[in-house]
Amino acid sequence: MKLSTFTASPLHSRHCRIFRQLHDAGCFVMPNPWDAGSARLLAQFGFPALATTSAGFAWSLGKADNHITLPEALAHIRAVTQAVAVPVNADFEGGFAIEPAVVAANVAAATETGIAGLSIEDSTGDASHPLFDFALAVERIRAARRAIDDSGTAIFLTGRSEGFIVGRPDISDTIKRLTAYAEAGADCLYAPGIRNRADITVIVNAVAPKPVNVLVSSDFTTVAELAGLGVRRISVGGALARAAWIAFLEAASEIAERGTFKNLARAVPLVDLDESFKPE
């Protein structure tokens, strides 16, 4: 039984098709805006696709990562997709549920926001048991796959294994999970936190021919180097948002602590930002 009677618009279908084609060959960067404004500016740089960031969005609401609600996430994803003319991948965290059936229902709701891609991760948020048990984690990906297929869209599903960022940096277990997610229907595989070139190569080879996403949140590599390792997609997670917060915090702390305003001289001119946001 289908979970949704939603019919994708021609534009939505086109974005899904373009996004899928981007993964067929080469390597592309998919940066992560945290709101509609940052999405519009990134699109003006010519990036072929964008991805939301759960952390960056949560901070913009004054919340910690993984503390936004499903309605907040859906409204945010819709706002970003409507702000730009390029495909958008949704950071859908863990599907905002534990049980596969509820993950499927939530993914079905996400398919109606205009996204071209969506990721589901396997972290629990429980430090004592940070990853879902293997069988449950696989079934959650399988449920997301069914929901997307039932939606009649060609939304690109990414399966994420979070071991390297939740205190379980086990490359063997990560590969076991990613290969199982691929078999369960994930179109792309992603293990955030992996920076070792040998580990990246092992993952690329293990899930081939399916594409791999690598997270770059610091200066440890280049696009050319990752492309040479066979990586198809690069994202930056909340790093751009954190970079923006640096400027904000430096300027605010200067005002609060010294009563001076030198950092404000570095601000982008108002006229330049207004020009960037004029209707197209």
pLDDT band at 280 (very low <50, low <70, confident <90, very high): confident
For 278, other C-beta atoms within 10 Å of its C-beta total 6
**Residue 269 included in any domain:** no
**Residue 189 included in any domain:** yes
Which distant-in-sequence residues (6+ apart) come within 8 Å of 183 by Cβ? Answer: none
Per the CB < 8 A criterion, the answer to whether 125 and 166 are in contact is: no
For 1-36, the pLDDT digits (tens) are 444 567 889 999 999 999 999 999 999 999 999 999
DSSP string covering 221-264:
--HHHHHHTT--EEE-TTHHHHHHHHHHHHHHHHHHHH---GGG
**Residue 272 included in any domain:** no
The predicted model scores a pTM of 0.95
Q: How many CA within 13 A on the CB side of residue 74?
A: 14
Which bin fits 62, alpha (ψ -120 to 50), beta or left (φ > 0)?
left
Q: Which amino acid is at 110?
A: A
Beta strands in the chain (DSSP E): 28-29, 50-51, 88-91, 117-121, 156-160, 188-190, 212-215, 233-235
> Encoding tokens for residue 129?
């048991």
Instruction: For the chain, give the number of residues.
Output: 280
Average pLDDT over residues 248-252: 98
**Residue 247 included in any domain:** no
d(CA 168, CA 210): 24
Q: Is 104 helix (H, G, I), strand (E, B) or coil?
A: helix
Which distant-in-sequence residues (6+ apart) come within 8 Å of 8 by Cβ? Answer: 16, 151, 152, 153
Return the C-alpha torsion angle 36, 39, 41, 45, nearest 10: -160
What confidence score (pLDDT) does residue 5 get? 62
What confidence score (pLDDT) does residue 1 get? 42
pLDDT band at 279 (very low <50, low <70, confident <90, very high): confident
| Statement: residue 141 has pLDDT above 90 | yes
Q: Is 204 helix (H, G, I), strand (E, B) or coil?
A: helix
Residue 208 belongs to a domain with what CATH number?
3.20.20.60
Which range marks the domain in which residue 139 is found?
10-238
Percent of the chain with pLDDT over 90: 96
Q: What is the 8-class DSSP label of residue 39?
A: H
Per the CB < 8 A criterion, the answer to whether 42 and 33 are in contact is: yes
How far from 105 is each of 75, 88, 108, 270, CA to CA, in Å?
16, 20, 5, 43
Number of structural domains (the chain) is: 1
Q: Is 161 helix (H, G, I), strand (E, B) or coil?
A: coil
**Residue 223 included in any domain:** yes
**Residue 204 included in any domain:** yes
For 228, other C-beta atoms within 10 Å of its C-beta total 12
| Statement: residue 145 has pLDDT above 80 | yes
**Residue 4 included in any domain:** no
> Encoding tokens for residue 251?
């300027």
**Residue 71 included in any domain:** yes
| Statement: residue 189 has pLDDT above 70 | yes
